Chain A
């Protein structure tokens, strides 16, 4: 069943702030096997002009995607998450995420389309720090595959 077009433009309240810790960044960098010292060595990060260690570019997805849970779980929207696959992902950065950040995400449904029975949902997550300054915007395209014919 096609999703309701009237949800386009709907925004959800800002997510509970996520505090970015140095050790969480280290854990993520190790999990992707990336030894760039900017992720683990404060002095190396400062030498590059950053206030603290920074996170790898895709680190913020865990935070932005958790916030899209409000959209995915919205019973009125009626998305069947068991059929959802990740179509596209994009990040537009004002600055890198860094240790000490308290990040909050505001999710907005940008577009809803229906193609060959698939529902395609574009969600924009604006990620801001504790001062309300923009850090990064995450653009996530979810595709809910058509239900199998009974």
Chain B
């Protein structure tokens, strides 16, 4: 595993480059096919409303996949991720308006865990439409 960020160069509070990830209906259809999750709440507006949702919502696992990119792009090697967990707190609502939604992700180093393994915990803040959509989004990553 070869991360491009050195353990010695980060401190608690070090901020990772923030990113915005757009998501529209086409992206959800594509993710459904690639992941095998064809739950109609992710592509069928009529069905989503029938079960009480405001509109079609993104797969939670899609949001989880986008959020960790802030970490994998930072370190370069996705294989440096040792542990990754999230809580799905609010859905990302994706309207069929030609624009869709945006997932906003920022992250910072919360704690240096192990000087020998060179692992740090990064806490992610993940929002869409002004609301936090993932809670307890934490990534343990091994640095160089």
Interface residues of A (CB under 8 A from B): 27-28, 30-34, 36, 38-39, 47-50, 54, 56-58, 61-62, 65-66, 85-93, 95-96, 139
- Given contact pairs A38-B77, A54-B78, A93-B84, a sample of 13 additional A-B residue pairs in the complex whose CB atoms are under 8 Å apart: A27-B34, A32-B34, A38-B79, A48-B76, A49-B79, A57-B72, A57-B81, A57-B84, A58-B65, A86-B88, A89-B85, A93-B82, A96-B81
Contact of A48 among B2, B27, B34, B62 (CB under 8 A): B2
Interface of A is mostly: mixed
Chain B window 117-141, contacts with chain A (Cβ cutoff 8 Å), 1 for yes, 0 for no: 0000000000000000000100000
Q: How far is the CA of A65 from the CA of B60 in the complex (A)?
A: 13
Q: Closest residue of chain A to B3, judged by CB?
A: A48
Q: How far is the CA of A48 from the CA of B84 in the complex (A)?
A: 20
Complex interface residues of chain B between 1 and 54 (CB less than 8 A to chain A) = 1-2, 21, 27, 30-31, 33-37
Interface residues of B (CB under 8 A from A): 1-2, 21, 27, 30-31, 33-37, 60-62, 64-66, 68-69, 72-73, 76-79, 81-88, 136
Among all A-B residue pairs, the 4 with the closest Cβ atoms = A90-B85, A31-B34, A96-B79, A32-B65
